[in-house]
Amino acid sequence: MLAKPQIVVVDYGMGNLWSVLSALEFLGARPLISSNPADILKAEAILLPGVGSFRLAMKSLIEKNLGEAIKEAVQIKQRKILGICLGFQMLADFSLEDGMTPGLGLIPVPVEGFGDQELEGRKLPHIGFNQVILPNSSVLFDGFTGAEDFYFVHSYRLLLKALPGKGAICNYGVDFLAAYEYKNVFGVQFHPEKSQDVGLNVLANFLQFARDAGRKV
Amino acid sequence: MRSETFTTHQIIGNPVSTIDRLSNWNVDELVLLDISRDDQHDMRREDHFVRYDGSSTLDLLGYIARSCGMPLAFGGRIRTLEDIQQRISAGADKCVVNTQAYRRPDFIREASETFGAQCVVVSIDALRHSDGSTEVFVKGGKEATGLRPEDWAREVERLGAGEIFLNSIDRDGVGNGYDLSLVQDVTDATSVPVVACGGVGNYEDFSTAIFEASAAAVAAANIFHFRELSYPRAKQACIAAGVSMRPANVDSKWFPRDQPYDTVRENERIQARLANAKSDHVRSVYASDDVPEMTWCKRCVFPVISATPMSLDEDGVCMGCRMAEVYDNISDDEWKQREGVLFDILDQNRSTDGLRHDCIIPVSGGKDSYFQVHYVKNVLGFNPLLVTYYGNNYTDVGERNLKRMKDVFEVDHLIYYPSIGLLQKLNRLSLIAMGDMNWHAHVGIATLPIRTAVQQHIPTVIWGEHGFTSLCGQYSKDDYFEWNYRNRREHSARGYEWNFFVGIEGITPQDMMCYQYPSDKKIFETGLRGIYLGNHTHWDANNHIELVRTQYDFEVSEEPFDRTYRTMSNLDDMHENGVHDYLKYIKFGYGRCTDHASKDIRSGVLSRGQAINLVRQYDHVKPSDLVRWLDYVGMDERTFDQICDTFRDPRVWRKIDGEWVKSNLWDRAG
């Protein structure tokens, strides 16, 4: 039993942890940054951030034995995970960025690029605030209704498919999965740490959920 | 920084409080360009709340990023991949590269491959020549490249830039709108987002660039610092014009405007200062640092290290002198046109139903107050409500002038008298906390008229001249700088809001009511604008005094002040020219006489030699009103001196053989 649910931010040597950490600390959390699989297995909640190449990120995750640890923590120990941006994509089955690379397989959809026809002249990467249609009665969007604007920076996206959980949808020429939650698996394509009030509300909702779950143990 | 055509740069404030304000509004994205030539950000002010350890670019970035909830693109002197890595580690989301991309184009490719295209913004500074052609410049607009912006944009995209930040050199800070054909040409040439920058003078300019020049995003600097709630109002104008964007937040939950103070830490800071004051060897927290040579403006007598933000141009002339030239060269026709702008603002907001006054004029009862009311009521023909914060420091002459205003102008006048007990506490506590016993006066004057405006739904407040513009040239004429909270927070309050004092010596929130600034939401709903008359009519203190004396029997002081040769200023507050100003001398080594003499050099009343003699005679004088003040707050002179010494700026003062010494203008001028 954990007196204080431990939040671990996975450091696999890529991307910018700083903003995520800063946002978590801003919200009063005291996360542990770790690249140690043992810490991941002990964590109550896992945060998987990421910016950059899917292939390199997965490679690094596997080399550091973090991929297996995350899967065990989430699938067997039922720990909560939140993937952000590339971290969200890494929860998916596979990505077609830079070849075909398998992901962690926690969300059964593929990651693909935006097609030229779909974009209709829109530019990549998809950068900036964009409107997200939110699901009803979800954990991440508790307190929100309808739609909100979040900050995106990405060129690949999770495809929209029939899924068991709750999804939020954004449109950039084509609809794509902007956020998803099912049981203990959470992910957001946008950057909640850079989406100001609304983004911090999403992170606060996830932290609250992890805290509540921690108390129930 | 306020910038104009890449040549004029005026310091307008502390980046930390500016960025706090942008966070309040949930700004979509911030581009922060470090234009300093060396890696030094001197923000050493013992008398301001905002202080941080370190002075390098990365120190500053780290400090800013902590309170920055928006995406942050950071640029300036980025030459290596390691520079980028360091900036990302310190909190930047994107890096803005300019000169180095031109020097070594492969740098763009390497950066893009290492950090991703989304992280690499290439900034292009373009100049439109008089023949209409455009050219890319680097090195802060100093070095021509012979490249056309659209060709260079195509090339940087090919190399992997994720975004282009397009700035127009000739439109920079001019305020006449974006260079639309430049924006369109570059946008057409590339498929990455182009952010347009340079030239915004009105909120309407943003949507024009989006609709008429296909800009993917629009950016501006100056305008956001010049007006109250500028960002929410800019977005309001864009949305009204049909741009699809999220509205600004004026009531942020996570980034509230008025934040609580860490009372434990603040108390420790004060206790440490008091202990320092009592010790035999008063030391400054920065005493070990290198002390640069003192420099002064070559034309007036203003020092560069000053209470007001000050910068010199390449000829060694200060921005105060430069802006005085700009204002002096405004033609009569242009003044007529500027007066028309003011008349229209007042007219659009005049009371149509007779249920309120037309505008508010904050008055102290001084010569400027008389001129403001004269101008608004008797020249332009509006009915103002006068509002006075009574700081209990009036001279007899000043008090008579104040109370006669309702009679000589036939206007309504609200005078607010805070309790004397509270004023005594605030005088003493603010001396200890920030070396300024007049915090209450500065913040009271900067708050009460705005509170009244919001309470009475009066959308226009008319101030006199903008002090920092006339003194240190902070803004230029076409900025039409308006009243705003950032200015109040940073300059009037030194970063110390009303709630800083709550809990100390039993002070309650209710005690501090007249210092509580209205919420952004209420100000937004009131549509409040604070206009400076100095931007609309020629401001000449020496002429004004003649006018108000002859037409309205304004009284001047019979006795000269201790610390300046002028007899017409600051009759409303005996300490403003006295103890308060002496504190400025203790901190920065100069006083009101330097201010007055500099202004009189600029208006041709004094020669520089005469001015230096006056400064030498007055600046150091310990004023006689100190006796009243010490008695008023219950402090002895030795304690006062000890506390003062802890605020001495180490860039100005050194202690040698038990005496505080500094270099002086006359040491070199001879």
Residue B613, φ and ψ in degrees, nearest 5: -60, -40
Helix axes B420-434, B637-645, angle to 10 degrees: 40
Residues of chain B contacting residue A122, judged by C-beta atoms under 8 Å apart: none
Say what the pLDDT of residue B145 is. 96
Pick B88's closest partner by Cβ from A16, A125, A155: A16
Q: Is the pLDDT of residue B105 over 60?
A: yes
Say what the pLDDT of residue B55 is. 66
Whether A196 sits inside 8 A of B23 (CB atoms) is: yes
Residues of chain B contacting residue A194, judged by C-beta atoms under 8 Å apart: 69-71, 93
Residues of chain B contacting residue A51, judged by C-beta atoms under 8 Å apart: 116, 118-119
Whether B93 sits inside 8 A of A200 (CB atoms) is: no
Query: Which residue has tokens 């959809």?
Result: A109
Say what the pLDDT of residue B670 is. 43
pLDDT digits (tens, 9 = 90+) for B114-142: 888 888 999 999 999 999 999 999 998 99
Which positions of A are annotated as active-site residues?
A: 85, 191, 193
Query: Which residue has tokens 């990455």?
Result: B192
Whether A201 sits inside 8 A of B163 (CB atoms) is: no
Nearest Cα of chain A lies from the Cα of B262 at a distance, in angstroms, of 15
Pick A149's closest partner by Cβ from B163, B217, B246: B246
Alpha-carbon dihedral angle through residues A119, A120, A124, A125, given to the nearest 10 degrees: -50
Min mean pLDDT across A175-184, B211-220, B524-533 is at B211-220
The per-residue DSSP string of B112-149 comes to: HHHH-GGGEEEEEEEEE-TTS-EEEEETTTTEE----H
Q: Is the pLDDT of residue B289 over 60?
A: no
Instruction: Collect all residues with Cβ–Cβ distance below 8 Å to A217 and sequence separation of at least 6.
Output: A1, A2, A44
Mutate to test the interface with A, among B74, B81, B88, B93 (most CBs of A within 10 A): B93
Instruction: Collect all residues with Cβ–Cβ distance below 8 Å to B230 and sequence separation of at least 6.
Output: B223, B224, B484
Mapping DSSP onto H, E and C, the string for B39-68 reads: CCCCCCCCCCCCCCCCCCHHHHHHHHHHCC
Query: How far is B168 from B221, CA to CA, in rounded Å?
Result: 13
Query: Which residue has tokens 């009271």?
Result: B444
Say what the pLDDT of residue B435 is. 93
Whether A200 sits inside 8 A of B65 (CB atoms) is: no
Say what the pLDDT of residue B288 is. 47
Whether B163 sits inside 8 A of A127 (CB atoms) is: yes
Say what the pLDDT of residue A136 is. 92
**What percent of chain B has pLDDT above 90?**
60
Written as six digits, the tokens of A69 are 């640890």
Report the candidate in B461, B464, B458 with the shortest Cα–Cα distance to residue B370: B464
pTM over 0.90: no
Whether B255 sits inside 8 A of A201 (CB atoms) is: no
Q: Which residue has the higher pLDDT, B547 or B273?
A: B547
Residues of chain B contacting residue A201, judged by C-beta atoms under 8 Å apart: 253-254
Give the number of A-B residue pairs with CB atoms closer than 8 Å. Answer: 79
Query: How far is B477 from B90, CA to CA, in rounded Å?
Result: 37
Residues of A with CB under 8 A from a CB of B: 16, 18-19, 22-23, 26, 51-53, 123-125, 127-129, 131, 149, 151, 153-155, 191, 194, 196-197, 199-201
Q: What is the mean pLDDT of residues A108-112?
A: 96
Mutate to test the interface with A, among B23, B28, B120 (most CBs of A within 10 A): B28
Task: Let me know how long chain B is.
Answer: 670
Min mean pLDDT across A49-58, B208-217, B453-462 is at A49-58
Say what the pLDDT of residue B188 is. 95
Classify B237 as helix, strand or coil: helix
Query: How far is B661 from A161, CA to CA, in rounded Å?
Result: 76
Q: Is B639 exposed, middle or buried (0-12, 13-18, 19+ CB in 10 A)?
A: middle
Residues of chain B contacting residue A197, judged by C-beta atoms under 8 Å apart: 26, 69, 249, 252-255
Q: What is the mean pLDDT of residues B475-486?
A: 86
- For chain B, what is the mean pLDDT? 89
Instruction: Collect all residues with Cβ–Cβ distance below 8 Å to B662 and sequence separation of at least 6.
Output: B294, B589, B652, B653, B654
pLDDT range class, residue B285, cuts 50, 70, 90: very low
pLDDT digits (tens, 9 = 90+) for B13-32: 677 778 888 888 889 999 98
